[in-house]
Amino acid sequence: MADEPRNTSSPDPAPADPAAARFWMLQLMRLGGVLLVVGGMMILAGKVSGPDVLGYGLMFFGLFEFFWLPRTLARRWKSPTIDETRDTR
C-alpha cells in the first residue's frame, strides 16, 4: 500500500473567465500608458536624463496606449450581436 501513488492534485477549478482576463489586460495597458506619459514628463522636466525627442515620443505613445489601444482591443474582443450573426441571403 505504501507503493501506491497518491492523488495529490486537487479537482480542476472552475475555468477562468475570459472577460475578467480581458478586463485586467485593458487595465494593465492603461497603467503602462500612464507610466510612459510620466516617464516622458520626467525627461522633459529634466529629472531624468534623455533627449527631448524621447520624452515627447514616450508621452505620445503613452497617450496612444492609454486612450486608443484599449478601445481597439475591446472592439476586437466584443461578442457579435444578433444582427451580425444572421445570414443576409
Q: Which residues have a Cβ under 8 Å from the Cβ of 81 and sit 6 or more positions away?
A: none
pLDDT at 80: 74
Report pTM: 0.70
Q: Does residue 17 or residue 60 have the better pLDDT? A: 60
Kindly report the average pLDDT of the chain as a whole number: 85
Contact at 8 Å (CB) between 1 and 24?
no
Quickly count: other Cβ atoms within 10 Å of residue 43's Cβ. 21
Please compute the mean of the pLDDT values over residues 76-86 and round it to a whole number.
Answer: 73
Contact at 8 Å (CB) between 73 and 25?
yes
Alpha-helical segments (H) within the chain: 18-45, 52-63, 69-77, 82-85
